[in-house]
Amino acid sequence: MDFSALLLLSALSPILLCSSVNAGRDEDKFEYTFSNVEMNCTNWATYDEAARPLGRVICTNPPPYALDGAGSCDPRHHHIISFKGEGDYALGFEKATFGSWYLSIYPYSPKTKTSGEPIWRDPQVDSSAPLQVPDNCSLVFLKSGNLELRDSSGLVRWTPAAEGLGVTHFVFSARKNGNSAAGNMVLYNKARQVVWQSIRPGGNKFQLNSIHRPDMVCTLRSSKPMVNCKPPLEYPMNPSEGTAQYRNVISFTKDGKYALGFWATGGRKGSSYLAIYKWNPSSNSPSGQAIWRALGKDGRPVAVEDESSISFLHKGDIILKNNKQKVVWETGTGGRASDVEFNFDTGALYLYNQQGSIVWRSDAKLYLVDSM
């Protein structure tokens, strides 16, 4: 079937996405560009006399290349995205109990048409248990660049809450290729930065949930400890002591390539920038220049004196105050962020919302899980 015929078919009818999706450019990933038309993938569930599920997923307004070879499903799963010839994973609806399903990512063999145990299920906010949704639920790709899992009445049961974050593309990697993570679902912005992903990379990290604890205020001091945090950071988030020139707010005492702290400007005594810089914890000394500094509205680094402070607020904002308690820099994410993450391997500081979308980042070159 040629491409013009595929376009004609896509205009005439919705598409059954069950055993196969041809990703067009690559055989190991499915890429969807958000447009002014929604794509709604509904889990139409029916049952035989033994109460075994017989339904499948029907997607309205899919991209033309999603038409290749839909077939029968694994009885436990109704695939939204899977591959016919190549692929180790699928995204779809996994049977939970009679009449209910998980949105799930699971191993899938297109040759044997068999599935394995899930590697990801849609999470409930503030709960370790995965979310169950009833028959005839839908995964909707919104025009705004967000995803919504809706029940049959249209009620949103799960979303990465990515509205307003500039998302333009959705990618699902069915196989590992280059820097892509197999079985990962990713939302990108126009600059190809990760905004949300179902599987976040590991590595050495500082993580703080600011909602479930009081404001943490770290004050720049002229005597030891060079930075004093109240309430103190918890193990294993202890900062190394640093020096008068490099006063660390967040760093590791053993492993870690970067630190977040106050970097002496070299000007007036006690004058420092809030910065991220290369750090050698074994020698308690810097190993390179600053890779990021907090900038003021004039685009220049903001210098502060002793008794200035950086505050991690429970409302989801990070602010920098000078020694006169005047706010001189802030992330502007109050009410939108809940989790702070500092990655010691990449030297980047992120603020996430409760659904895992990145609402603020310190760097413009964020780690990519999918090489383009």
Least confident of 42-56, 177-191, 255-269: 42-56
pLDDT tens figures, 19-61: 344 444 455 788 999 999 999 999 988 777 766 667 788 899 8
What does R_g of the chain's alpha carbons equal in angstroms? 24
User: Taking the model in full, what pTM does it have?
Assistant: 0.86
pLDDT of residue 268: 65
pLDDT tens figures, 87-111: 799 999 999 998 999 999 999 988 8
Quote the CA–CA distance of 137 and 160 in Å, as a whole number.
17
pLDDT of 71 higher than 50: no
On the 0-12 / 13-18 / 19+ scale of CB atoms within 10 A, 231 is exposed
pLDDT of residue 267: 64
Determine if residue 175 is left, alpha or beta; phi over 0 gives left, psi from -120 to 50 gives alpha, anything else beta: beta
On the 0-12 / 13-18 / 19+ scale of CB atoms within 10 A, 210 is buried
Contacts for 244-251: CB closer than 8 Å, 24+ residues apart: 245/286, 246/277, 246/279, 246/285, 246/286, 247/220, 247/221, 247/272, 248/279, 249/218, 249/310, 250/206, 250/342, 251/279, 251/281, 251/344
pLDDT band of 62, cuts 50, 70, 90: confident
pLDDT band of 158, cuts 50, 70, 90: very high
On the 0-12 / 13-18 / 19+ scale of CB atoms within 10 A, 303 is buried
Question: Regarding predicted confidence, which is higher, 175 or 51?
Answer: 175
